[in-house]
A and B are shown apart, each in its own frame.
Chain A
Amino acid sequence: MVRITFIQSDGTERVVEAEPGMTVMEAAVKNGIPGIAAECGGACACATCHVYVDDAWREPTGSPEQMEEDMLDFAFDVRPSSRLSCQIKVTDALDGLVVRIPDKQF
């Protein structure tokens, strides 16, 4: 099991367990993490599962591919650490991953 910490914009933290192979978005939705709307259900078509990856985890999570980068245009307050959580696959190497949820998801 891989542990992922979700930090809300008000600072509240929740740690959830995810299985390798699923996406960070799926881990959030399965555990009822608020702020991950995932309107399109993980098709990389809506940008409502936007997260900021903690700096320490930027490298292991990699960088967005073209389609994800395009879709990030539809997100609000995009930063260099921005990712769409439906595009981050959970692997054993991500055990301890920390992501922050934006103030607003739209």
Chain B
Amino acid sequence: MSDKTIKTDAVIIGAGPVGMFAVFELGLVDIKSHLVDILDRPGGQCTELYPEKPIYDIPGLTVVTGQELTDRLMEQIKPFGAEFHLSQRVESLERLNGGFRLATDAGTALECKVVVIAAGGGSFTPKRPPLPGIEAYEGTSVFYSVRKMENFKDRDVLVVGGGDSALDWTLNLQPVAKSLTLVHRRAEFRAAPASVQKMFQLVEEGDVSFKLGQVTELHGEGGKLRAVTVKGADGATFEQPCEVMLPFFGLTMKLGPVADWGLNLEENLVPVDTEKFETSEKGIFAIGDINTYPGKLKLILSGFHEAALMAQQAYHYIYPDKKLIFQYTTSSTSLQKKLGVK
């Protein structure tokens, strides 16, 4: 927990391409911003879903990958020195007199005059396997992440999945757990080869039990898991006793806490006007895939446009007494100075 509240002009929620470009547009009009993102690196869907995939509709770039676009945007916004708060999610938004106070699940507190929601499809959250009754076990016996290793001490732990999260937690929890079983649908893993090797070594030494199959049912009562049914590779099922289960089936996007901030919503999207891209509340903007308006297209280039117009209005909240004179980066010496052009 940090006890210091960060004070800034604007907080951008979501460090995808549109959130990043918002730093640029805000920066040009002298607005300092901080970004918050649940992922551990900037880029949003571009780096999380399709880092290697080509994008063909960024104006001026015939083809660019998600990762390359992210790298280029990072370079482009460098002059503005925006601070990134990664691996955390904004949980709450509080109205202050003439501004807002945001708090993240990692304990970061930010005060600002303008909030820019650029959260795309929402925050990436772990996928919940569609096992009947799983909700009843969540938080007591079923966990999608490990906050405290202690919670798994001396317990019969079941890890499900074959990616890096599954392998990492198999290796990390094995020494503290009473027993550790890994269930995966095949003997191949898409995790770091060294982790896979280590895991198989532990299996050989009898410290980890690896079983091929897929979990189909949960057994237990009162939120306490007793066992799961696993369908093996041969189609036969068996019961696997366990007290806690950690399923790792990747991430999906959920709107998350934004839904609780008292903004108007339409089917999990935030309606905005098309002049300022402001939400139902003054000072809170929504740009990129998360907003909706007549004719909306979920394109990165639309988000860029929205960021530019948003910044014009944001200026009036940050500098209420000043008049904003529209300028071009091509010819304005003051803009070029901000960009560090020599």
Contacts and interface: CB of A to CB of B under 8 A. Distances in A.
Interface stretch (A15-23, A24-32, A43-51): A43-51
Given A76-B130, A106-B129, A43 B190 contact: no
Contact of A74 (B53, B186, B250, B253): B250
B337 interface: no
Name the residue among B121, B163, B252 with the largest chain A CB count within 10 angstroms.
Answer: B252
Given A106-B127, A106-B130, A43 B161 contact: no
A40 B49 contact: yes
A74 B249 contact: yes
Interface in B110-126: 121
Contact of B250 (A43, A47, A69, A77): A47
Nearest to B185: A78
Given A78-B185, A78-B214, A106-B129, A73 B162 contact: yes
A69 B184 CA distance: 13
A47 B53 CA distance: 16
A11 to B, nearest CB: 20
Contacts of B49: 40, 43, 45-46
Contacts of B162: 73
Contact of A46 (B128, B161, B252): B252
A106 B128 contact: yes
B94 interface: no
B165 to A, nearest CB: 11
A72 B49 CA distance: 15
B50 interface: yes
Contacts of A104: 130
A51 B281 CA distance: 43
Contacts of B163: 73
B128 A40 contact: no
A40 to B, nearest CB: 5
Interface residues of A, number: 17
A39 B216 CA distance: 23
A43 B185 contact: no
A3 to B, nearest CB: 29
A57 B253 CA distance: 33
B267 interface: no
B127 A77 contact: no
A104 B214 CA distance: 15
B97 to A, nearest CB: 40
Contacts of B128: 106
A74 B184 contact: no
B312 to A, nearest CB: 31
B188 interface: yes
A43 B50 CA distance: 6
B129 A73 contact: no
B246 to A, nearest CB: 15
A94 B153 CA distance: 53
A86 to B, nearest CB: 12
A70 interface: yes
Interface string B213-240: 0101000000000000000000000000
Contacts of A46: 49, 250, 252
22 contacts: A39-B252, A43-B49, A45-B50, A46-B49, A46-B250, A47-B250, A69-B186, A69-B188, A73-B162, A73-B163, A73-B186, A73-B250, A74-B127, A74-B249, A74-B250, A76-B129, A76-B214, A77-B214, A106-B128, A106-B129, A106-B130, A106-B252
3 A-B pairs with the lowest CB-CB distances in the bound complex, closest first: A70-B190, A104-B130, A74-B250
Given A40-B50, A43-B50, 19 more contacts: A39-B121, A39-B252, A39-B253, A45-B49, A46-B49, A47-B250, A69-B186, A70-B190, A73-B161, A73-B163, A73-B185, A73-B186, A73-B190, A73-B250, A74-B127, A78-B185, A104-B130, A106-B128, A106-B130
